[in-house]
Structures are given as structure tokens and as C-alpha cells.
Structure 1
């Protein structure tokens, strides 16, 4: 019975002797039951006498791609739609993505590439406002073990979701021991706040308190918070939404803190 040696150049390097029976798949094959990531590497098969290399193979472990979980939001309405996706579980292998969109479910009036903005994100523009025809985004994941595609249909106004407001400032008001002045700016990614205004929601809490209060929405980009506890640090955040109530509120802004004016 011939003995063969299979050498795996991994860290650490180790040698596997076998004789075509246990753990093998024939005279020149090897099976690795319960393989793990530690078994990844380059394997070579050699003649037992001369050391001649008979075959080499690179072992990579992973999965065929799962259906991509796709999300699309109009963070810069009405200029563009931004989409991103994840794979669960991660395939662990190099995986390519193709992202396209069309306007219409069956007979598309417009089709195109969703331009990649990152490894797992893309965007497209020139969208039609108030259209009752849905857009459909198609994301296909491809790796050596297979391919998987996901279609995501949506109406444009249903996916409006601004980025969080920016530059939140919390200031004391001279002479007012129970008030704070809040000021902020619309998100920089929202292109036309004068034509497509936003409304804002505010949440705040005292530093030593566990209760968070939420108020609003308000149309302006400033607000006087009243009834706060004198001499107490307050933490504030603001979220934005399309004025017509389409879509969803943004995530909360970065927090800002302030203490009401105190008598000198």
C-alpha cells in the first residue's frame, strides 16, 4: 500500500500522512472532516519516494452568499436615493456585488446602475417626485460558491429619512435660571431646506436623572427649553423629519449639554 504525504503551508505548518483510506477520497484525495478556519492554506501532494509534487490546491472556507438585506433611504431628497446592504451570515469569501435600479415593477420606464459609493453601498439620482410607480433596486451578491439576489421595491416619498441635524448648541439665557436656548442647523446632506423644510423633535434629560423627555415637532431651528432645573447640567439631542410627514425621523443628533444661567 502506497503512502502519500500532504503538506499544508499554513500557520503553523504541518504534515498529514495518509494511505488512501481513512480521511481520504481515493488514491489521490484527502477529506478534512470538521474543517475550520485553522485549516485554510495551500496544500500540496508529494510522491513518497522522490518528493515530486503531484498537485497543489488552496483551501478557502466559506459560504455561498445569503440574500442581501437591502435598505434604501432618500437622505438628500429629492436629489438622490442611497442604498446599503449586509449579508448574514458573512460568506467569509471574496464576494462581488452588482446593484441596479429600475423605475417600474413590470415595464420599467427607466433603468440604470446604482453607482457604488462604498463596498456595500450605492446611490442613484434623477428621481421623479410624487410618482406612484415604485422604484426597484436589485442587489446581487456573487462568490465562487454561488449567487443571491434581492429586489427592494419602494415609493420615493416613503423612504425619506434625513441625516441628523448638525451643530447643536445649548446656551444659557442671561437672567433666566430655568431656561436654555437650543440652536441647530439642518443636515448638510439635505439640499434645499428652504423649499423642502424639515420639522424637528427634541429630547433632553438631566445629568443625574434617568427620565428622558421628548417634545415637538417644531418647524424652527431654535427653541427655548423652559422649566429646567436651575444649576443642573442637561443633555440635549435633536432629530429631523420631512415637513409633510413623509418617511421617517432621522437618527438623533450628537448630544450637546448646557446649564441654565446662574446668579453671579
Structure 2
């Protein structure tokens, strides 16, 4: 029996950040590391790092910590949320697709700050870790807008309205803007139009053809330009009258 360690380093500026470490006490049993992804759905207190249970083996438990990159000695524990937990005590709401994952809640994150996240899966006789570094500005991703409705105002014009994502808590300080995507079928081909930078949660669109069916979706993005717009609402169809 011996200890085997594999380390990968990512050099950022003059400082190296360790990205992955695997350590185990046998040469025959693999210790899969969790694959971790961090997302901030509302600035500053809705940052979650998430991962699935490794399919090859079930860890005894997880250890999750994080720290500011410039203050690595001040490591803080991350609040673990097991799969299926109601999360009510943390005031965190998860979509159904994410409820089978492990989550780690990072409260009160700071802007313009590098963070290092460490999630370690502990196995009998060994462990495997995933380390990552990120800034909150890079992982901001508002949840999808809600309660989208589409109606016909007059021939060729539709009214689209929706509610901001309920998880985005500080719209007065960090306002949102929206992108619209609508698609239709013409001569057997799917056509689309992607419209960006809507400041309000309703708008009217012109140029829609009579008798044609359109599918519309909306996505939210932080108005300051942080993060990404990638979580689209459920599609809504409308067929314009002839």
C-alpha cells in the first residue's frame, strides 16, 4: 500500500493555483473527483457551487471550503446542501433539474475578488479534490424570467410580457435587461430572430406574418454587463390570425 498524488497547476500571473489533486492509498482503486460548477443567480448572496455524485463510487462525505485568492489562509467552510434538501433554512430556491445535485452555498460574495473553491470527496482510505478559481463577475447568471405571456395586439404585432426571475433579489441596485428569441418555420426551414437589450419586462414586436405560428422565449442578464444570459424561459407559442 502506498500514497499516490497527482497535481495539476494553473499559473495565473505570478501565482500558481492548484486545479486538481487526487490522493489515494491503493494503486487499484480509482477515486473520482467531483466535477464542480459555480453560478451566481443573484448578487451578492445567491452563489452556489454544484456537482453530481460520482457514478463510479459513493464518497463517505464531502468537505467544501472557499477563500479569497489573496487571503488563502482565511479558509471558510461552505454550507453543504444534500440532494433533495428543501433548502428553506438558507432561503435558496433550486429548479427541479438541479435538485438531484450536491450544492454548496457561498453567502455574501464580493465583486472584483478572486476566489478559490475546494470540494473534496472523502473515500475509505483516500480522497479526491476539485479546486477551481473564479470571480463572481464571471459566474453571474440570472435564472430564467417567469410567467411569460404573448398576445396579439393587431395583425402583425404581438405584445410580450414577463416577470423578472424571483431569485434576483436586488433589482433596484443591480437591474436586469432582457433578450428575446423568436422562431418560426418557413418553407420547411426554421428561422429565428434574436433581439437584445430590452430594459423593461414587456415590449411589442412588429412584422409578424398572419396565419404563421411563432415560438418565443426570454432570457435575463445583469444590466451592468456581468455574467451571461443563457437560462431561457419555457417557450410560448402564438399563431397570428389570418
TM-score for the superposition, normalised by structure 2? 0.73
| CA distance in 1 between partners of 2:32 and 2:71 (Å) | 25
Q: Determine which structure has greater relative contact order: mean sequence separation of CA pairs < 8 Å that are 6+ residues apart, divided by chain length.
A: 2
The question of 1:127 aligning with 2:92 is answered no
Q: Deviations over 1:89-111 (max 9, x none)?
A: x2233442111111234544x53
1:189 positional shift? 0.6
Gaps of 5+ in 2: 1-27, 84-101
Matches within 5 A, 1:1-264: 64-86=30-52, 90-105=55-70, 107-108=72-73, 110-119=74-83, 120-128=102-110, 130-131=111-112, 133-144=113-124, 146-173=126-153, 176-206=154-184, 210-260=190-240, 262=241
Is the contact made by 1:65 and 1:87 (CA closer than 8 Å) also made in structure 2? Answer: no
1:145 positional shift? 5.3
What's the C-alpha RMSD, in Å, of the aligned pairs?
Answer: 2.2
- Tell me the number of residue pairs that the alignment of Structure 1 and Structure 2 aligns: 195
Specify the alignment match of 2:97 in structure 1. none
1:187 positional shift? 0.7
| CA distance in 2 between partners of 1:146 and 1:105 (Å) | 29
TM-score for the superposition, normalised by structure 1? 0.67
Is the contact made by 2:59 and 2:121 (CA closer than 8 Å) also made in structure 1? Answer: no
Is the contact made by 2:185 and 2:191 (CA closer than 8 Å) also made in structure 1? Answer: no
Q: Secondary structure at the match of 2:138?
A: helix
Is the contact made by 1:65 and 1:148 (CA closer than 8 Å) also made in structure 2? Answer: yes
| CA distance in 1 between partners of 2:203 and 2:64 (Å) | 42
Q: Deviations over 1:22-55 (max 9, x none)?
A: xxxxxxxxxxxxxxxxxxxxxxxxxxxxxxxxxx
Is the contact made by 2:31 and 2:57 (CA closer than 8 Å) also made in structure 1? Answer: no
The ranges of structure 1 where at least 4 consecutive aligned residues each deviate by more than 4 angstroms after the TM superposition are none
Q: Secondary structure at the match of 2:137?
A: helix
Is the contact made by 1:97 and 1:141 (CA closer than 8 Å) also made in structure 2? Answer: yes
